[in-house]
Structure 1
């Protein structure tokens, strides 16, 4: 019985945490459609937060590769006074990247709805 109660409490805690993070991310990060993304990314810092092998397989033309795993150590490469446009494969890593950037003082954070897998614009592959 104690195990069942523990599992229920743990499940509720995980659900509450997930809901909290979802709404927090919505507050700090603007999700853009492909059209909105295309309209603004040339005037912003375009960051691909995927790993280098994913980036080499194809990326949005003009993007810089700063993987989420290296973001903390490479923050100096991103200006806090300019808009930041983030994307990853599906949208989850760019959301985590935005949370980290927000904690470090970045305010104008945007990401591509659906990530690179939904991208229909220009792509460059190595």
Structure 2
């Protein structure tokens, strides 16, 4: 595992379509304003600064999580927070790029 894998930018062996088929929830961690200007259909908006306070709610969903943002930096941070709380999560990177993979 390289530094890029740790940061969530390594090889994307995860099949996003497969995760969605398993019921994965996409969480967009951009600000509400950014989310309103465009997002992946069906994704939930939870700005990065709210992720820690939403952990128990996310755990209750009992589903895999895909996080995204504008470039992948905030989603990497959100992924780390969720993983440290025992949530199955994949960093989807930038929302536009992720949308093209779905």
Superposition TM-score tier, normalisation by shorter sequence: 0.7 to 0.9
Please point out which of 49, 57, 74 is paired with 1:93: 74
Question: For structure 1, which runs of at least 5 residues remain unmatched after alignment?
Answer: 1-19
1:34-68 deviations in Å (ceiling 9; x for gaps):
x9323422511210111100000011011010110
Name 2:19's counterpart in structure 1: 40
Check conservation: 2:29, 2:45, Cα contact below 8 A: yes
Matches of 1:66 and 1:77 in 2, distance apart?
Answer: 11
CA RMSD of aligned residues (A): 3.0
- Which of residues 48, 54, 58 in structure 2 aligns to 1:68? 48
When you count helix as a share of all residues, which structure comes out higher?
1
Which one has a bigger Cα radius of gyration?
A: 1
State the alpha-carbon separation in 2 of the partners of residues 21 and 121 from structure 1. 23
Call closer, same or farther: CA 1:60–1:32 in 2, change over 3 Å. farther
SS at match of 2:100: coil
- Residues 67 and 90 in structure 2, CA contact (< 8 A), matched pair in contact too: yes
Give the alignment's TM-score, normalised by structure 2: 0.75
Aligned to 1:83: 64
> Which secondary structure state, in structure 2, belongs to the residue aligned with residue 73 of structure 1?
helix
Where structure 2 has 5 or more consecutive residues not aligned to the other structure, the ranges are: none
TM-score (norm 1): 0.62
For the residues of structure 1 that align with 2:36 and 2:11, how far apart are their CA atoms? 25
